[in-house]
């Protein structure tokens, strides 16, 4: 195998890694072939052994092109069909977007091979998965306000690795998956240590299966009846001024049929107007109806600070305790413009206009609905575990308001729902997800779907949830602690290898 890898043409390896990256995309929703993530990563890690750092970067870049070129193809749908972009500019921006994020697998390959020059081949088993996860963290949390799409742990919600999610979150679970793939790659390339590697894989998978039956949180009270409204208002129609009354009446009528629910939730910007425009004529009468039926309603609309002119994407509770939550984690290039003035100049040059919102901040108190405090997220925020576990120890359940109409019938709504399922499992809480066109869903604390509305159908999804208490280990420690442990662990291993374990070092 080593001789085969050494003589196989690099360009052919590059093409095969492009296909392997596409295979990784198929492990995510809506395809859900979760086992492909293991084999796809193992193939990439095999390619990274016995090659130069720059070859590893090439293989990683091709892998990233396959992964993001297919996995985020919905960017084209958003720009071309709903963002009024021209065909050429839409294709160009989507290609640049995919090409940029493909740099991360390339950097992972380059750094892994460079680090491997200073250690023995066994340490590659740790270097490969740690570097991969550290770079996932870099793109998922830090760069451009974070782009956590297609992080490998999301593909494992229905696999044995799901048991680790309430324990270690996205990054810890992703490390175990990547470590398993590195073990398998080592076995394929080196053909050594079969009993040890097989035993390690069995132990990781077996422990995950056992953890899948572990309950970290408990029910604290009687069930809560809920209804999630999916208005299915087309994106083209939604923001037209002459459609406002019809949109409000559509949501009002769906709500009137479900006053027997303790909580009714509308999706993101279900009310396409500012609070000041609709409060007196529409929201106050609606609130009085809710109070008379003992129901709370969560709606979503825009708020504008009259003094600062700042605009907020907000969720508003109508009922016994009126209060609002202003979106904190904004979507780059969708709700604000990073890299100014460059990004503004580029978009102006190709004729695209994007909104500019302000962040609500991290110190906002929890909303209360149906008698319990809740963690609220708006659209993109449910892609971040750190957002959902903030103050979750005080919350009984999670609520997410989303509008994925921007992405049509692409794979994005399915991927986004998968990420919402991760938030429920990480926190050990029920999650209510109300969307405009889908995928509206009620999600259990184990990440399983209790009920889901069909996409692009006007509907009201009803069910019951239970308020929960307790903390999962992940909710207690968060992402930063896991990343610090991985980084320090790798650093200490490299120091020990260089100064204590080997008197001399061979290069690859």
CA of residue 171 relative to chain centroid, distance: 12
User: What is the SS3 assignment for 386?
Assistant: helix
Whether the CB-CB separation of 399 and 298 falls below 8 Å is answered with yes
Interatomic CA distance for residues 417 and 404, integer angstroms: 10
Say how many C-beta atoms besides its own lie within 10 A of residue 505's C-beta.
11
CA of residue 406 relative to chain centroid, distance: 17
Whether the CB-CB separation of 479 and 385 falls below 8 Å is answered with yes
Residue 408, C-beta contacts closer than 8 angstroms, at least 6 positions apart: 74, 77, 81, 82
Token digits for 429? Answer: 């809480």
Whether the CB-CB separation of 134 and 487 falls below 8 Å is answered with yes
Interatomic CA distance for residues 234 and 426, integer angstroms: 32
Helices 53-71 & 87-101, crossing angle to 10 degrees? 140
Say how many C-beta atoms besides its own lie within 10 A of residue 379's C-beta.
25
Interatomic CA distance for residues 328 and 177, integer angstroms: 31
The phi and psi torsions of 373 (rounded to 5 degrees) equal -70, 145
In terms of Cα–Cα distance, which of 169, 199, 144 is closest to 332? Answer: 144
Concatenated DSSP letters for 13-73? HHHHHHHHHHHHHTTSTTT--THHHHHHHHHHHHHTTTS-HHHHHHHHHHHHHHHHHHHTT
Residue 34: half-sphere exposure toward Cβ, Cα within 13 Å? 13
Q: Tokens 């992402």 appear where?
A: 479
Token digits for 40? Answer: 């796809």
The catalytic residue positions are: 268, 327, 379
- Helix ranges (DSSP H) in 257-338: 275-278, 284-293
* β-pair partners for 452: 441
Interatomic CA distance for residues 108 and 139, integer angstroms: 12
Q: Tokens 């086992």 appear where?
A: 35
Say how many C-beta atoms besides its own lie within 10 A of residue 241's C-beta.
8
Interatomic CA distance for residues 296 and 335, integer angstroms: 28
In terms of Cα–Cα distance, which of 344, 294, 349 is closest to 85? Answer: 349
């Amino acid at each position: 195998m080593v001789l085969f890898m050494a003589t196989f043409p690099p360009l052919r390896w590059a093409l095969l890694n492009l296909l392997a990256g596409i295979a990784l995309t198929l492990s995510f929703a809506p395809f859900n072939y979760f086992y492909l993530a293991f084999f796809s990563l193992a193939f990439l890690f095999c390619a990274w052994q016995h090659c130069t750092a720059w070859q590893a970067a090439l293989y990683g870049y091709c892998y990233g092109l396959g992964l993001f070129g297919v996995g985020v193809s919905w960017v084209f749908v958003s720009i071309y069909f709903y963002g009024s972009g021209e065909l050429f500019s839409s294709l160009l921006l989507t290609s640049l977007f995919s090409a940029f994020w493909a740099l991360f697998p390339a950097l992972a390959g380059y750094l892994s091979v460079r680090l491997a020059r200073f250690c023995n081949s066994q340490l590659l088993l740790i270097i490969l998965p740690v570097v991969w996860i550290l770079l996932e963290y870099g793109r998922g949390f830090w760069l451009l306000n974070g782009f956590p799409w297609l992080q490998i742990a999301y593909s494992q919600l229905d696999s044995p690795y799901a048991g680790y999610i309430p324990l270690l979150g996205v990054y810890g679970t992703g490390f175990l998956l990547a470590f398993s793939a590195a073990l398998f790659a080592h076995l394929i390339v080196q053909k050594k240590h079969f009993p040890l590697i097989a035993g390690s894989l069995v132990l990781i998978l077996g422990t995950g299966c056992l953890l899948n039956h572990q309950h970290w949180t408990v029910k604290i009270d009687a069930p809560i009846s809920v209804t999630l409204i999916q208005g299915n208002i087309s994106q083209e129609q939604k923001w037209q001024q002459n459609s406002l009354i019809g949109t409000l009446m559509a949501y009002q009528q769906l709500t009137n049929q479900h006053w027997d629910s303790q909580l009714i939730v509308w999706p993101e910007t279900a009310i396409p107007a500012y609070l000041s425009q609709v409060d007196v004529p529409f929201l106050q009468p609606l609130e009085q109806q809710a109070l008379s039926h003992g129901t709370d309603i969560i709606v979503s609309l825009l708020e504008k600070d009259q003094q600062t002119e700042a605009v907020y994407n907000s969720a508003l509770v109508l009922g016994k305790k009126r209060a609002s939550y202003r979106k904190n984690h904004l979507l780059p290039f969708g709700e604000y413009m990073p890299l100014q003035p460059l990004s503004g100049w580029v978009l102006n040059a190709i004729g695209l206009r994007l909104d500019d919102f302000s962040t609500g901040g991290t110190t906002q108190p929890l909303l209360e609905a149906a008698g319990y405090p809740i963690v609220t997220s708006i659209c993109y925020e449910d892609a971040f575990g750190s957002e959902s576990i903030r103050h979750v120890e005080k919350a009984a359940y999670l609520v997410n308001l989303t509008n994925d109409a921007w992405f049509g019938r692409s794979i994005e709504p399915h991927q986004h729902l998968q990420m919402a399922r991760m938030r429920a499992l990480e926190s050990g809480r029920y999650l209510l997800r109300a969307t405009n066109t889908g995928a509206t869903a009620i999600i259990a604390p184990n990440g399983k779907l209790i009920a889901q509305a069909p996409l692009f159908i006007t509907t009201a999804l009803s069910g019951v949830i239970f308020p929960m208490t307790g903390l999962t280990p992940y909710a207690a420690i968060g992402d930063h602690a896991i990343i610090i442990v991985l980084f320090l662990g790798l650093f200490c291993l490299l120091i020990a290898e260089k100064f204590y374990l080997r008197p001399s070092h061979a290069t690859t």
